[in-house]
Structure 1
């Protein structure tokens, strides 16, 4: 708040006039450049044309369930949805395995030791899972020495 006590419009205008009145070689060029820059920035903002916050979206409610469904119909629907989700998950696993096999084939054709790479990846996954379990149990398996913690 102390800053605003030392600021006055009259003092600012007086300081500006004092600086402009001093003979400097390019003072009017600087004034013109500052004015044009200000006008350019404000004209860009003016062309944006924003007029407040956007209007909220119109919501259309769609009822996908019959109002008078019985418990048996609800259970049957849940079973069907679960079955469909499991089928999709199995299909996704099959596709992932196909992609994995394609990459293995490509790796073998490129001369890579695919089996060693897979073995290392499984070891890394097992170590990560063990570390995650250790964190859950509250212990830490850190390689940082005690005096560095």
Structure 2
């Protein structure tokens, strides 16, 4: 078995001679097509080799808006905190009163339609206690897991 040499299989000289013969033939649009066939890969290479440098964005300019007077004393801060706490407790009391009125209205409606609202209330209290105990257990578990113990 004869080993064929690589040089004899791939002859670049013959390929270039064929290309030159093809280019010398008078064909319509041969020069524009040749230019286009060179332009496409060259433009692709030009786009790939172009470097882009992006500068980091400017840091945001933060403007703090405060409705509180600057230089307040600790006593003024405590006083305003107490006033805010009183307003919060008043809102919570008002919401609790509205919830209570709502529950009473539903109880009245339930009694008028023949439902056993006392039994329903007991079941709801049991369910609320169960949910509260589960939430406390989850809280204890998270606290113990977070404290590493």
Q: TM-score, normalised by structure 1?
A: 0.47
* Greater Cα radius of gyration, structure 1 or 2: 2
Q: TM-score, normalised by structure 2?
A: 0.47
